[in-house]
């Protein structure tokens, strides 16, 4: 009975860590979508909520770190379980960074509320949509232990890079044509770079 109880407690700890990863990922997905929406709608209240939500992401990362340390110290996992735990630590770190990116986009959105909007905001929205889909798919691949799906997400990062490069050239043209556009375009360049960075999550689904 004692051995059975130990195994059950171990499984519950792994489940808690997996669930925390998925919860964290869900918040980051929402943060990214909301930060871009706040830019498009010029909605500083929505942007402020994105910044506030970053605290939840930080708290979940701390919880995952604590769970991982506890499992490593008490359970001494090997093979697949060890890979799951180390992958979880990396994913949590990546998600925390993405949450920071989304919060930074929201801050930039607030900063440019008083500036005349530029139509390329829509291009940023499309690029962020690709990044958001990649985050969802890579988290699903982690949940389902689907390595092929994770690799497919990794390959899609090229689409984001191409979108960023195209947008970069357009914004530079805008700035050269009219120096008054330099400030808003500089903000949008930062946001575009941040949105493209949000898509960078290496495939971390552990092989069964």
Distance of alpha carbon 206 from alpha carbon 47, whole angstroms: 35
Per residue in 153-204, pLDDT (tens digit) is 888 888 888 888 888 888 888 889 888 888 888 888 888 888 776 665 544 4
Which of 16-20, 59-63, 107-111, 119-123 is least confident? 119-123
Q: Is the pLDDT of residue 2 over 70?
A: no
Give the confidence band of 205 by pLDDT, cuts at 50, 70, 90. very low
The token pair at 63 is 């919880």
Per residue in 25-48, pLDDT (tens digit) is 999 999 999 998 988 888 999 999
The structure's pTM equals: 0.81
Distance of alpha carbon 137 from alpha carbon 128, whole angstroms: 14
Q: How many CA atoms lie within 13 A of 187 on its CB side?
A: 23
Predicted confidence at residue 195, as pLDDT, reads 74
Predicted confidence at residue 201, as pLDDT, reads 53
Query: Can you give the residue ranges of every domain in the chain?
Result: 2-197
Between 60 and 155, name the one with better pLDDT: 60
Predicted confidence at residue 34, as pLDDT, reads 94
Are the C-beta atoms of 102 and 31 separated by less than 8 Å?
yes
Helix segments in 44-181, DSSP class H: 44-75, 79-111, 121-144, 147-177
CA dist 146 to 61, 114, 143, 202, Å? 23, 45, 8, 14
Per residue in 83-128, pLDDT (tens digit) is 889 989 999 999 999 999 999 999 988 888 777 666 666 778 888 8
Give the confidence band of 208 by pLDDT, cuts at 50, 70, 90. very low
Does the domain formed by 2-197 have CATH 1.20.58.220?
yes
């Amino acid at each position: 009975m004692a051995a059975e109880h130990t195994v059950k407690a171990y499984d519950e700890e792994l489940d808690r860590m997996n669930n925390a990863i998925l919860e964290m990922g869900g918040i980051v997905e929402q943060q990214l979508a909301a930060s871009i929406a706040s830019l498009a709608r010029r909605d500083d209240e929505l942007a402020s909520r994105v910044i506030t939500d970053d605290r939840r992401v930080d708290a979940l990362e701390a919880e995952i770190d604590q769970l991982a340390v506890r499992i490593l110290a008490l359970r001494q996992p090997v093979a697949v379980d060890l890979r799951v735990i180390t992958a979880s630590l990396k994913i949590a770190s990546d998600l925390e960074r993405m949450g920071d990116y989304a919060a930074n986009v929201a801050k930039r959105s607030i900063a440019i509320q008083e500036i005349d909007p530029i139509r390329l905001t829509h291009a940023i929205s499309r690029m962020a949509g690709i990044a958001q889909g990649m985050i969802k798919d890579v988290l699903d691949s982690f949940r389902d232990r689907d390595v092929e799906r994770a690799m497919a997400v990794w390959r899609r990062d090229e689409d984001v890079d191409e979108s960023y490069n195209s947008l970069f050239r357009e914004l530079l043209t805008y700035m050269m044509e009219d120096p008054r556009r330099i400030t808003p375009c500089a903000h949008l360049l930062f946001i575009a770079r941040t949105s493209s960075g949000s898509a960078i999550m290496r495939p971390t689904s552990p092989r069964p």
